[in-house]
Every structure is written in C-alpha cells, then in structure tokens.
Amino acid sequence: MSAPASTPQPTSAPASTPINQPIAEPEWPASGDRPIVFLLDAASSLEEAILRDWIERARPEGVASSSNEAITIVSSRRPRGNKLGSLEPALATSSDPLLAPLRVLWLPKEREGKRVASLRDILRFGDPRDPGHIRAAYVYRFEKDRVCIVAAEPAPASNLRERWRAAAGRDVAETVGLAHYVAKQAALALDRAERKIRGARYKVPRFLHEEILTRPSFLGGLDTLAREEDVAPPVVRRKAERYLKEIAANHSPLMIDIFAQLSRSSSTRGYEGLRFDSEQIEVVRKLAQQHSVVFIPTHKSNLDHMVMFRVLHEDGMPPNHTAGGINMNFFPTGPIARRAGIFFIRRSFNDNEIYKFVLRAYIDFLIEKRFPIEWFIEGGRSRIGKLLPPRYGMLSYVVDSYRRGKSDDVILIPVSIAYDQISEVGDYSREERGAAKEAEGFTWLVKFLRRLGHKYGHIDLRFGEPLSLRAALGPPGDGEGGERFDKLTVPKLAFEVCARMNRVTPITPISLGMVALLGCGDRAMSLPEIQLSLRYLVEFVTKRGFPTTTKLSLSTHDEIQQTLDPLVDSGVLARFDEGPEVIYSIASEQHLSAAYYRNTMIHFLLNSAIVELALLRASECETGDCREAFWNEAMLMRDLLKFDFFFSEKDDYHEEVKSELSLHAQDWEQAIASPGAARELLEQIRPFHAHRTLRSFLEAYQVVADRLLMHGSEAVEDEAALLRDCMVWGKQYTLQRRIRSAESVSKLLLKNGISLARNRGLLEGETEALSLGRKRLVEELRESIRRVSVIDALASARRAGALD
C-alpha cells in the first residue's frame, strides 16, 4: 500500500516464483510503536480463519495480541456486502495504526513444472484459483502447497488519509469515503504482492469501471456532451456506462491461462515451430517496465493475436489490451477473448460522440496506468500479402492521450508476424476475385481450426525498432495542438511505424520461390530454370542484408523441391514429373494465392524495380542530358504506386535510389547521363524485378484508367459501382490477354487504382480537366507497362541464354 493507485507500477521481470521452491510465508510487519490493523481480503469464512491463524502463528514472541487487530474488508475476488463498518473506527483513531493487507492465494496444481489452470480443471472442479467452499477445504487439508498467504506492503493510516485527500481534491473529514479508498488500495497492493508469486503475466486492471466513471474530468465531459446534444445528463451517463461495458476488456486470470493454452495449441496445430529473438523480448520487457507501450503487429492471419499472446505470456509478460472488431465478439470465443484482454470496438462510430468520448477515456486509462496496448494498424487482415495502408483511428487516440499528458512517453513497437504459409490464403483469393467475405461465427471458427490440421511450416515473429512519441513529438502537455502538431502528425507516425514493420519482415524461401515462378507468367519452369532464378535472387537478398526467416539455401534441386512441394500439397502450385524433367507452374486460378506469398517480400524489390524502369527511360532519351528523364521516371513511379507502397520522403527516396544504383556501378551518375551508358548499366543488373513485381499493380490501375476514360468527362458518383465495373472489365481484359498478369484482377489493387484517380482529381471536377487528366493517366500507365514488358523481354532472353 506504499504507492498511490494512480502511480503505474513497473512490470516484474521474473515470470513467477520457481515451482520447485516452496513459497515462503510472509514476515510479520515492522510497525515500531504503532499498533497494526490487518486488513483481511477474505472471500469465505475458511479464508478468514486461515489468515487469522497465520496472525497467531507469525506474531513474534513478546508482542502482545492486543497490539494488533484484524478486520475483514470486502473481498476483491467475491465482493459481496458492505464490510467497511469495522474499518471506519480504526481509521478514525488517533493512534495512526499501520494497515497491513492480507489475502489467501490459491494456486493451480503443478503440471510439468508450471502452475496454470486448464480446461480439465474447469470441467472437473471449476477455477482452481477461486475454489468453492468444499473444494477449498479439501485443498487446504490435502494440498497445502497450493495455498499461500499474501501480505502487501503496509502503510500508516495517516499516509493513506493524505493520499485520499489529494485524490479527492478537497479537504474532507468524513471517514466513509476514506474506508472505501483504503479497501481499494489494499486490493491493489495485494495484487502487486501476488504478482511476485504468480508472475507479471497476470497484471491486469482493477476497478477500471469505477475509476473511469467517477473521474471528475469524465463526468464533466459527459455533462458538456449532454448540453451540446440537448440530452438529460442521467441519460448520457447511462449510455456512457453501457458503452464502457461494451468496450472494455474484463480480465480473468483463469481465462488468461485458457487463452494461452488455446493460443499454443492453435499455433502448434498447423505449424512446426514459432521462432523469435529472446534478446528482443528482453528489450521489450525493459521498455514496458519504464513506459507505456503499444504493440502494432502486421495482420496476415486470424492467428496473429494468438501468436503475440503466446510469445508474451510464455515469457512472463502481461496480456496486451488488444483492440478487436465487434464482429469477432461471438460465442464462444468472444467471452473468452474479452477476459483474456481483447476489447471490442465498433467498426464505425463517427457520429456517436458519447461512444468516442468513452473510448478516449478508456485509452487514457490504459496509457496512464501503463497497461500494454495492441492493435492492427491495417484495420483488417491483408488479403494480398503486403502491408496495407494504415488506419489512423486508434493511433490518433493514443497520440491525443500522450499530448494531454497521460504519460511522459509512449513507445510504439512495430511487430512483424510472418508465416511460411497461411490457411486463409484461398479465402483471400476468392474475396479478391469478388466473392463475399464469410461472416465470422461458430461455423466459421470450426472451419478455421479444422484447416489448421494441415502443415504450414513455421511462424516468425520480429520486433521492429521502437518509436518514442516523446522523441518524435516532443514533451507531452500540448493538448491543444500547437506548432508541433498538425493534420499530418498522425499519418507520418503511422507511415513510419509501417516502414519499420516492413524493414523487419523476414523473407521466406517460399516467397522467393513465388517471385521466381510469377516472373514467367503462365509458363511452367523446370528445376534448372528455377535454380538459376533463385541463385540470383538469393545473391540479391544476401548482398543487401535483408532479413530472412532462415539461412537461405536453395542451391540444389532437393532444396528447391522441399520449398515448393508444400505449395503443391496446398494447391497453389502444380507439379509435373512424368516427363524428362520436373516442372512447376502456378496452378489454375491460383495466381492471387501465389502473388500473396510474393507480396510478403515485394517491398524489398521495389526500389530495384523502379531503378530498372528509370534506366530504361534514360536509355530511350533522345536529346539532352538523360538524367532528368531518369529522375522523372523514378518520381512518376513513386506517384503512381503511392497507394500500394510505403515510400520515404522525397529526399530520402532520392538517396535510396542512389544507393541502389551504387550497388551496380560507382559511376552511375555518368551512366544515366547518356542513353547508351544507361542501357549498358541496365543490362548489367541481375536479376530483373520490374516485370514480376510491378506489372500486376500497373495493369490493375490501367483497367481503372481505361474505364474512367470511357466515362469521358462524366463525374463518377458511385465508387462502389465503378469498382464492380472494373472487376468485370478486368476479367475480360485477362481473357483477351490485354493484361498479362492474372493477379491484376484484385479488388484491393483496383480500389487503390481508384484512390490514385481520386487523388489526381479524376473522379469529379471541371469537364475539360477530367477528360485531359484521365487521358494523361492512361498514357502514363500504358507507357510504364510498355517498359515493364521490355524488362520482361530482357529477362526472357536472359533465361534463354541470349545474354548469359
């Protein structure tokens, strides 16, 4: 009870007390000349008897029993009735007693060196941490190793009285409010002491609803909303209480254990192993001990949160408060997930000011109390493999909380979760071709778990470079905005987080294999062809030091087949081995699935692909200095692709392009000045990437641009209808071979093409400007795709031996 409730406590580093060591009983509190008042947090008469028995046994010789008193307070585990009547006189006395909280802790049975509750425990006897009367009596008599006394750090009554007055913000003399405050502080202090035994993984909020709903700032804000919306204040308060109950996680140590077991079983059912860096975990642990931390993982699969939960839980860290869509709050997973740390928010609440106010207050509480937060910045799972554009909502709440001084610093921790394969890739492909997303529910859950019966390889989790809001934005406290904050503050932070995610996303052997195969379009490749292509790809990755899931070794036919055959088993690839040599190809209607795995690493190939197109443009320069043509093309590609990729600021982007060029020639500045030298430098590049990385994006945009051009100068009033129209025309283009990349007909790529057109003002506006702008976009895309085709032809000639 030595620390105020409003002071966040650091997470304990040890996961728990070692199981093979007995848990020592607490020592008698050192009180000096003060009398001691033991505050018994007892949920039953048996627990009260256990605690009073300890007082009698632990009392030192020579200490009179009259010098201490034991008072039963409201149980924090089973709060029933008002037991504060006996506490009030003790607080009113002039002797200033030392208040010493006590609690009985019930532990699960030890299994394989661990004490965690299991589903078997629940089905047989209920929660082992909260046994019923009969079960508790049995455990106390026959399994005493499962029962221990928890003693919190004591504090003088005068100390608590001063803290209560400071918290209340006024000088009060009544003791009724003080008794309630003392009981609450006792429960919080006992929780801290309990974590030293059970571990930091059970650090969860207490009295969350009470603290938020009774804060003067919260109540004042609700009164302001009531006036603004012309609604009675009691009505607004009832709505706020209902929204908080709808949003907030409601942790249970039992469900934390159950969810941990479900997370482990789900992530091991379909995967051979989970790989992560234990040194990175220690860095994260130290950051969480000192600051508010926010984990922002990539979102590839419905397993993502379970993977994060498993890694942190098994390393003894507390559960993250994870934002989840309300669509995932279905039985039976919803109630379990909420009690394991997931808080559910609505997909849309822009017009609901009370809901937004309550969510902001909830985030404030988590930041202030230093509880870890987690959400997926992409909003939903990536259906195409690469990182999606960020959603700013949750980040805006966190930044706003920091700016208003709820924490001295908030650390954003990017996380990459990579899979060799995922079970949902088939669903993603169907959705990208236009199929409706299957609604989440019990049947959906059963299908998802059943598919995990197949083998999908490994999972890799990597932490990116942490981003400090204090370092990025300056000290907190500027709640009104000021010069340091503008409308681009949150977007810039979001893009930086995403860039850091991309930098640590590891390249898998499967993703390299898909880069090789998709480079040949619909044509099958023999093992020797794949081997040659992979040789150059591995050299490319190794030379640049890109992260990989494992040491790349794809130099032999056996190693290549071990990488590609799992995709044959899952139906993504087709293998033909009845002829003189083994050949592989993309299976029928599986180009989007193959592209998914390629796209997980496509950001590493982007700058190289753009350099190829820019060099080709310089080599076609007819007059003057060709350097201008080179940089115009590089900047044009940056503009065309900005809705699908995360580009650096212009100056940094220029440096990245220069760095890529310097890997091929030290005198690149002279080379790009003349057409011949630019062409010579282009043909030195191995391997080429533009044709197998950029074609699908540019061709999708071409479909959108062509349809807009057919609209003439008419404004587009219905973007959803335009998207449906583009999906149909994209399929027709594919059948007519007007586009070569089958993965171009993707809902998300076409959406981003529409975003590009909107950004250029080509959906609505002045008639003549619309017509000219749409024509210009069509010409830019056709010319870019022509250059991609030239690179494709060079790559094909090289494969055929014309250049090698």
Q: Nearest Cα to 222, choosing from 241, 209, 194, 197?
A: 241
* C-alpha torsion sign, points 585, 590, 592, 597: negative
Q: Nearest Cα to 183, choosing from 88, 286, 47, 288?
A: 88
Provide the pLDDT for residue 82: 64
Measured between alpha carbons, how far apart are the two ends of the chain, in Å?
A: 76
Distance CA 611, CA 619 (A): 12
Q: Nearest Cα to 357, choosing from 481, 210, 225, 207?
A: 225
Distance CA 213, CA 216 (A): 9
Q: Nearest Cα to 135, choosing from 148, 146, 120?
A: 146
Tell me what the mean pLDDT of segment 192-214 comes to: 90
Provide the pLDDT for residue 327: 84
Q: Which residues contact 756 (CB under 8 A, 6 or more apart)?
A: 640, 642, 643, 701, 704, 777
Beta 410-419 vs 467-468: how paired, if at all? antiparallel
Helical (H) or strand (E) element with 416: strand 410-419
Provide the pLDDT for residue 277: 95
**pLDDT surpasses 70 at 9:** no
Q: Nearest Cα to 412, choosing from 504, 483, 500, 311?
A: 500
Amino acid at 307: V
Distance CA 153, CA 510 (A): 55
Express as a percent the part of the chain with pLDDT over 90.
73
Q: Dump pLDDT digits (tens) for 748-801.
A: 999 999 999 999 999 998 888 999 999 999 999 999 999 999 999 999 888 777
Tell me what the mean pLDDT of segment 277-302 comes to: 96
**pLDDT surpasses 60 at 17:** no
**pLDDT surpasses 80 at 8:** no
Q: Which two tokens stand for residue 718?
A: 């219905």
| Reported confidence tier of residue 485, pLDDT bands at 50, 70, 90 | low
Distance CA 5, CA 190 (A): 12
Whether omega for the bond prior to residue 332 falls within 30 degrees of 0, making it cis, is yes
Provide the pLDDT for residue 660: 94
Residue entry with tokens 């006897």: 125
Provide the pLDDT for residue 562: 95
Provide the pLDDT for residue 799: 79
Q: DSSP per residue over 467-516, as a string?
A: EEHHHHH-SS--TT--TT--TTHHHHHHHHHHHHHHHHPPBPHHHHHHHH
**Packing angle, helices 650-662 and 627-640, rounded to 10:** 120
* Phi, psi for 194 (deg, rounded to 5): -65, -35
Provide the pLDDT for residue 198: 87
Q: Which residue has the higher pLDDT, 458 or 331?
A: 458
**pLDDT surpasses 50 at 351:** yes
- The answer to whether residues 309 and 260 touch, using CB atoms and an 8 Å cutoff, is yes
Largest CA distance in the chain: 104
Distance CA 776, CA 780 (A): 6
* Phi, psi for 526 (deg, rounded to 5): -80, 165
Tell me what the mean pLDDT of segment 289-304 comes to: 96
Express as a percent the part of the chain with pLDDT over 70.
94
Provide the pLDDT for residue 3: 42
- The answer to whether residues 616 and 787 touch, using CB atoms and an 8 Å cutoff, is yes
Give how far Cα 346 sits from Cα of 30, 212, 343, Å.
Answer: 51, 20, 10
- The answer to whether residues 484 and 425 touch, using CB atoms and an 8 Å cutoff, is no
3-state helix, strand, coil in the chain (%, to 5): 55, 10, 35
Provide the pLDDT for residue 14: 39
* Helix count and strand count (H, E) for the chain: 33, 16
DSSP secondary structure code for residue 82 in this structure: -
3-class DSSP assignment, residue 413: strand
Q: Dump pLDDT digits (tens) for 622-663.
A: 877 899 999 999 999 999 999 999 999 999 999 999 999 999
Provide the pLDDT for residue 512: 97
| Reported confidence tier of residue 315, pLDDT bands at 50, 70, 90 | very high
Q: Dump pLDDT digits (tens) for 222-279.
A: 999 999 999 999 999 999 999 999 999 999 888 898 899 999 999 999 999 999 999 9
Q: DSSP per residue over 729-795, as a string?
A: HHHHHHHTTSS--GGG--HHHHHHHHHHHHHTT-SSS-HHHHHHHHHHHHHHHHHHHHHHHHHHHHH
The mean pLDDT of the chain is 90
- The answer to whether residues 502 and 646 touch, using CB atoms and an 8 Å cutoff, is yes
Provide the pLDDT for residue 81: 64
Q: Dump pLDDT digits (tens) for 573-623.
A: 999 999 999 999 999 999 999 999 999 999 999 999 999 999 999 999 987
